[in-house]
Amino acid sequence: MAQYEHLLKEMRDRWPDGRGVREFIAVLKLHQDYPAEEVEQAVNMAVELGVAHKDGVQLCLRQLQEPANSPTSLDLSHHPNLAQIGNQPVNLQQYDQLLGVR
């Protein structure tokens, strides 16, 4: 429950005109559509990430429900011409040419 209090405080500080309380109520309404444990976990994540508002909590809820899959690594070993891409040294003179420096 301490995270909810922290969330409310952050929202009130950010929007002292009353919007902070309305945002907090909107977060509490998420309990109607999601399990309490998930909402609490999303509130914790939102506070830790610095996105203490309704949209931030909803984003954290979506991330909890559908964790992003790690992209598979690209295996270029079968393509020797492409295998060195990204491993070659940087030529700073090319940047100077783009900037018009001579």
Flag whether pLDDT at 29 surpasses 70: yes
Q: What residues does each domain of the chain span?
A: 2-65
- Comparing 74 with 90, which gets the higher pLDDT? 90
Cβ neighbours for 12, distance < 8 A, ≥ 6 positions apart? 20, 21, 24
Cβ neighbours for 29, distance < 8 A, ≥ 6 positions apart? none
What is the amino acid identity at position 9? K
pTM confidence score: 0.64
Give the C-alpha separation, 49 to 4, whole Å. Answer: 15
For residue 70, the model assigns a pLDDT of: 61
- Comparing 93 with 31, which gets the higher pLDDT? 31
Range with lowest mean pLDDT among 61-65, 68-72, 80-84: 68-72
Signed CA dihedral, 56, 58, 59, 60: sign only: positive
